[in-house]
Amino acid sequence: MKVKNITDVNKFFEVLDKCHGKVELITSEGDRLNLKSKLCQYIMLTKMFAEAKIDEIEIIAYEPEDTQRLLEYLIRG
């Protein structure tokens, strides 16, 4: 799924922590980062702050309930 405008990063990470399966961030180079990993979360944050803004990121959740959880976060904000 393509994700735009994550404004509350802490809330986003809380939602990720509740996911049961693998959730990956797909980089523009095609690399897959495990967003359940704190190290990868820090890399994501670094990228966001270094570029000042990320218009869109791609995330893959492998469990249907995790996809639903992420979609609910994105809808509610």
Percent of the chain at pLDDT > 70 equals 88
Calpha distance 40→46 (Å, rounded): 10
Q: DSSP secondary-structure letter at 27?
A: P
Delimit the domains of the chain by residue range. Answer: 2-76
* Cβ-proximal residues to 6 (8 Å cutoff; 6+ apart), any chain: 12, 48, 54, 57
User: 28: which DSSP letter?
Assistant: T
CA separation for the pair 76, 9 (Å, rounded): 14
Amino acid 7 reads: T
Residues 35-69 pLDDT 10s: 889 888 887 777 766 765 556 778 899 999 999 99
